Amino acid sequence: MSLFDYDILNGKCSKYETNHLHMYVDDDIDLGNLANMSLSSYATFVHEYIHYIQHITSLYGIRMSDMYNRVFSRYRDYIRNNEVIDIPLRLWDTDEDIHQFVIHFNKIEGDKTTGFNISDIEIDKKEISIAEKEKTAVWIGCYDFDNDKADEHGFLFGHRCVVEGMAHAIQSIINNEIKHNIIPYHAVELIIGKIIPDIVQDKKKVASICLCALLWDNPGIGFFQVLELIKSHPNWDGKELYKSIVQDYAVSYNGQEMPFYRLLQRFSNDLKESFKALLGRDLEYYSLVIDNCIIDCGKCHHRLIDFLYDYDICNRESFREQILNHYGYPFIDGRNQSELPRKTENGTQSAYKETAILYGIELIMARLLRADNKKECKRYPICSSTMFMEGAKCDATEECLSSQWKKKESCVFTEALKYFWIKDKEYVDT
């Protein structure tokens, strides 16, 4: 499955999804007063928000976000330079940089689900060595005692299992009654239970291990290396673990040996530049957010890990003050409302334009790539939800179902087309 077939376009296999600076929570949200949200909706919101933090604070997440920006920019430039645009538009067939990124992503992503029961697993060190050498996800053997068989295929442990395992661990601190599929949500627990069973119930340490693994270009391999470090220092908590890795681990970058914390700072600055290149304007909101992350890197600590150990994540006001105010937030769609980051000027509140623009280009990309052969705008289910509500405004039109570029009414999609100067092209859906 290609990168664009499920991360940007189809979301996750659970009931909520997180995309590039856009997250959807299939529940009611109230960012103005988190206390008004149910326990379940708050826990779900935090789960998805963790993915946003992963995107902007880990080496792998930053690199992935930066590549999204570069891919989006190349699509934008292609459309600007051509009068007729054939859909679906798959530039990775001819663009080597995009092609190589998609190949790497798919190799290390691993499985997002399995079609069999898992009673126990088997970890083969040879498989870890093979995955490290070939830069792939790690094959994990599986046993199904209920059906008296070993599944010869097992599952591939990679980036997907790491990010979902981290989000699940933190969500379960808030709501321990959540039910998720074994793969990808419980894969990290299965592995830790085999290697260091004493810590498998320590959700804070499990989450910290996952975040540290995302410092590796291959998070599946990074996860096993972090576990080896924990075995050597069993008394470390997540804060000590993270500080040790970003301070003491180094990689060769452009011929120079560089510790992780400096590489994080460099990649974060590169991310700001790729946002600016995509938008064609200076960043406002996300420049402040990324600067906060860069400052954290210089101190060799991570605000989220510190928060897990120093505060109670169930305390919603503490979460707002320490986390939301520090990392900001993306474009958020909930069942009851949509939220954008806002600023106050001369006593008047207004949304940061850059957030809506970034979401707009995501919608355009989704339509150009036409995943699963769908022609309707990805936002149509949300916009059309008020169609039959008396007195409610509905922005959905017939064009939203197939030919969004012909739509005259103002919406996120059409405003993004205008902003990027690509509205008046001839789009041909083949």
212, 245 contact by CB (below 8 A) = yes
Residues 381 and 314 in one domain: no
Q: Does residue 359 form part of some domain?
A: no
Q: Does residue 360 form part of some domain?
A: no
Number of domains in the chain: 2
Q: Does residue 104 form part of some domain?
A: yes
Q: Does residue 366 form part of some domain?
A: no
From 353, 386, 417, the end of a domain falls on 353
Q: DSSP letters of 332-375?
A: EEESS-EE--EEEETTEEEE-HHHHHHHHHHHHHHHHHTGGG--
Residues 22 and 164 in one domain: yes
Q: Does residue 71 form part of some domain?
A: yes
Question: Region 352-371: what's the mean pLDDT?
Answer: 91
Of the listed ranges 53-57, 74-78, 144-148, the least confidently predicted one is: 144-148
Q: Does residue 340 form part of some domain?
A: yes
Question: Region 200-227: what's the mean pLDDT?
Answer: 98
pLDDT of residue 101: 84
pLDDT per residue over 151-163, tens digit each?
567 899 999 999 9
pLDDT per residue over 378-423, tens digit each?
899 888 876 666 656 677 899 999 999 999 999 999 999 999 999 9
Residues 100 and 151 in one domain: yes
Question: Region 308-335: what's the mean pLDDT?
Answer: 96
Residues 151 and 250 in one domain: yes
Residues 182 and 258 in one domain: yes
Query: If you average pLDDT over every residue of the chain, what do you get?
Result: 90
Question: Region 294-315: what's the mean pLDDT?
Answer: 98
Q: Look-up: residue for tokens 């505060």?
A: 311
Q: Where are any strands of DSSP class E within 5-81? A: 17-19, 22-25
Q: Look-up: residue for tokens 């007063």?
A: 33
Residues 263 and 339 in one domain: yes
137, 156 contact by CB (below 8 A) = yes
CA distance 245 to 266: 17
Residues 40 and 147 in one domain: yes
**At residue 425, does pLDDT exceed 60?**
yes
75, 86 contact by CB (below 8 A) = no
Q: Does residue 55 form part of some domain?
A: yes
From 308, 324, 353, the end of a domain falls on 353
Q: For residue 174, count other CB atoms closer than 10 A to its CB.
A: 21
Of the listed ranges 96-105, 118-127, 171-180, the least confidently predicted one is: 96-105
pLDDT of residue 196: 98
Residues 346 and 407 in one domain: no
CA distance 361 to 419: 10
Name the band, by pLDDT with cuts 50, 70 and 90, for residue 349. confident
> Token pair of 31, please?
């960012």
CA distance 408 to 421: 15
Residue 111 — φ and ψ, nearest 5°? Answer: -80, 145
CA distance 330 to 286: 9
CA distance 261 to 263: 5
Question: Region 298-317: what's the mean pLDDT?
Answer: 98
Look up the domain containing 348 and give its range. 2-353
Q: Does residue 33 form part of some domain?
A: yes
Residues 240 and 377 in one domain: no
Residues 133 and 191 in one domain: yes
Residues 319 and 384 in one domain: no
* Host H or E run for residue 252: strand 250-253
What single-letter amino acid sits at 337? Q
Give strand pairing partners of 182.
none
Residues 16 and 152 in one domain: yes
